[in-house]
């Protein structure tokens, strides 16, 4: 079965932020690694408010999304 949806993942430490941004629209991944979300939990409501399908890349939670 091929998965077409978004994947939310994270690690305790993200040492490769260039390769694993907060949002990668091409790969449909959301990286909630502590370093990318200011060491604070984020809500599903916030993620859904971002219009994920329109984002190409967003490096951190404070970045302006590249659409």
Render pLDDT for 9-61 as a digit per residue (tens, 0 to 9): 987 666 777 888 999 999 999 999 988 999 999 999 999 999 999 999 999 99
Burial class (CB in 10 A: 0-12, 13-18, 19+), 52: middle
Q: Which pLDDT value is given to residue 40?
A: 94
- For 11, left (φ over 0), alpha (ψ -120 to 50), or beta? beta
Q: Angle at CA 12, nearest 5°, toward 6 and 15?
A: 90
Whole-structure pTM value = 0.89
């Amino acid at each position: 079965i091929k998965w077409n949806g978004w994947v939310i993942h994270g690690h305790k430490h993200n040492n490769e932020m260039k390769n694993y941004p907060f949002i990668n629209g091409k790969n449909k991944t959301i990286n909630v690694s502590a370093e990318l979300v200011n060491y604070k939990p984020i809500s599903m409501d916030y993620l859904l408010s971002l219009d994920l399908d329109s984002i190409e890349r967003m490096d951190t939670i404070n970045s302006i999304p590249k659409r």
